[in-house]
Structure 1
Amino acid sequence: MSTFGKHFRVTTYGESHGRSVGCIVDGCPPGLQLTEADIQPQMTRRRPGQSALTTPRDEKDRVEIQSGTENGIALGSPIALRVLNEDQRPKDYGGGGGNIDMFPRPSHADWTYLEKYGVKSSSGGGRSSARETIGRVAAGAIAEKYLKDVYGVEIIAYTNSVGPIELFPPTREHPSPSTNPAFLDFLNNVSREEVDSFLPVRCPNTKVSKEMSDLIADFRDREDSIGGTVTCVIRNCPSGLGEPCFDKLEAELGHAMMSIPATKGFEIGSGFGGTRIPGSIHNDAWIKAPAVPPGETKPGVRTPKLTTKTNHSGGIQGGISNGAHIYFNVAFKPPATIGQAQQTTGYDGTEGTLAAKGRHDPCVIPRAVPIVESMAALTVMDALLAQLARDGARERLQATGAVKSGMMADTNGHA
């Protein structure tokens, strides 16, 4: 369906070459200060036409709040967000004298949408297009603002690899980045500003960024495409989030990330490389958490007594956040639309050649960075609201004296 979340619910709408795209957000906490200026930065980071390494489609992606706020304050009612499509070219996808309307494009959703619905959008990818993610990014900016303002949560994603070029490649000594001190230190300090200072690739390393940029340009010039991975870290995530057994936090993050167009893989914490590490090393031992300086605690925010010495788990154990950094990788395939002519088969079963005319990215990774951040924000926000409801019910029991002292944790996570 087109709705994500149970408590912070986001429904996206719109097709790639329709009049507009956007979303409706239901469940935003009332009283949040919110204007278009809070949302637009992420929209601008996602928009096409940012450089010669992205699609030349020229969209400013200006977001408009249609409902749910008044005088810059969220009312608690549904928030409608709209972005007009200003540079759509449906003729590039059929009816323009070409053959694209006769053939399902290789690795696109043309055929599968037709099989599912009996009808499909005649232009672009319709709902399967990455343009659908505009609504996700707009909604994610709202969730991120609440998480940042109230809990100090920081969500930063960056380009980790393009093709065979990696920022932190696995080695014999470090088959997983979770054992690499340089990677862990990087997660502690990387900022969104630093990532964006390495445009157009968004890989915060001068040498590696240049190699990635040259590689993408080479595929672009050959009218081909290439994939890669995005790494994301969530810092200061409250502990206790996640709903075992089937809605574990990493399962919800995996669901969120794999719903993004062009994704083909998800790994969290030590990931697949962790299978090469013995349990005696992989186990995250518990240690006493550093004391929070006076004045830095926030009302209602958990301050657990314990943390972990290492973080191979990626901040989640038993499906529940433990307060450590949550980090994960998302793999994106090469964009399906390429300029090269491809041998394929038409809707009527006749073999032929398809030459795509639509504008496209030779690599989606740089523009996928804010999409990954937004889906992470939506996931954490939804899990947080579920936990706040549980905490509130528990606190009412404690307030009435219905629970014996010492049997439950207090609001600061202390037993």
Structure 2
Amino acid sequence: MGVLILHSLPDRLDAGSPYPLGATFDGLGVNFAVYSANADAIELCLFDATGKRELKRIALPECTDEVWHGYLPDAGPGLLYGYRAHGRYEPENGHRFNPNKLLLDPYARKLHGQIKWTDALHGYKVGHPKEDLSFDKRDSAPAMPKAVVVDDHWDWSRDTKPNTPWSDTVIYEAHVKGLTKLMELVPPNERGTYAGLGHPAVIAHLKRIGVTALELLPIHSFTQDRFLQEKGLKNYWGYNTLGFFAPEQAYMSSDSQDELRRAVHRLHKAGIEVILDVVYNHTCEGSEKGPTLSWRGLDNASYYRLVKDQPRYSINDTGTGNTLNLSKARVIQMVTDSLRYWATSFGIDGFRFDLGLTLGREEHGFDPGAAFFDVVRQDPVLGRLKLMAEPWDVGPGGYQLGNFPPGFAEWNDKYRDTVRQFWRGDAGQRAD
């Protein structure tokens, strides 16, 4: 759908509401709400239908419990937007606000365009003698994807979840593109897409081999990393998230995200659950020398875990440059809101948590009683789903197989390795 604002744009937003977070269409307009505990002001930036021309910047007029919010009457689905956050640029104290950088809404449900890699995406001057302590004044908007307001209602009332018992579950791990890209029985335009997942030939194949659950490698919007593109390569696997709420555009055969919902519905009808491999341990912004795309610019000191006595630097328990700070209530809210959105809007039956140990890290280390686990286990939606943790990361004490709380299954690499070694005939494996 196109942008629904066709005439003059206001100079001021109505107060709106701090809940729900994100951009929410109510039939008469759009409510915008974004979390930042340390910003001095946040501006909503509106764009034309191409995403190339910024039409207006309007300050979010209210801040309630660290959530900035405002309401734009007469706006609707199709509207392209982003944010600019004003505040201290003090990397040595963990703050990296730079209003010259357009920021993606962490709750964006659809993206328009791709990242166009340029040094202007960094909050500092790349190559400057002071490195990330310097300040870059270039506008990053031309190089940034834009968030899109959506109306994503879908009637799941006729859908029946398989609810396969764990004891009967057979999981087939697959890549959305790789599963069907070369499958001749799938129409060419649907191969390698969400639509292809629900094709009768794919479902028949899964049923034939006894699969009860299809686990998809990451489908959250992710980046094509700059260092890969400069080598002529691509990020095939998707473990570098740009948006926790938006399906990856590259896997769509059309402009409608409903094709993923249709695929899930058809898989359910065949008795097959759909599980997502999700990456909430880090984001695509990398280390303190990475780009400013969203969370870093909105509130670096809140969204990320920083070195206690040197908050200029990011803690890197994930091996990717940064670690999300799930000791913060609003960061836990973002992750659980994302999980709940995928479960309710897309019918997802469960989640496999990449580097799941990271989600249970508190200041003293891994804690099976960490707030994230408690929140998920008591949630009336999430607590009923299949939840699986990858029980390690690269931080201190980064191997916790068998130590996750009830309700979380775990990937067991010791069992996997022993079975493989026994299968190929290695000696001395029977005891294990």
TM over 0.5: no
Higher fraction of helix: 1
Q: Which has the higher contact order (CA 8 A, sep 6+)?
A: 1
TM-score band by shorter chain is under 0.3
TM-score where L is the length of structure 1: 0.27
TM-score where L is the length of structure 2: 0.26
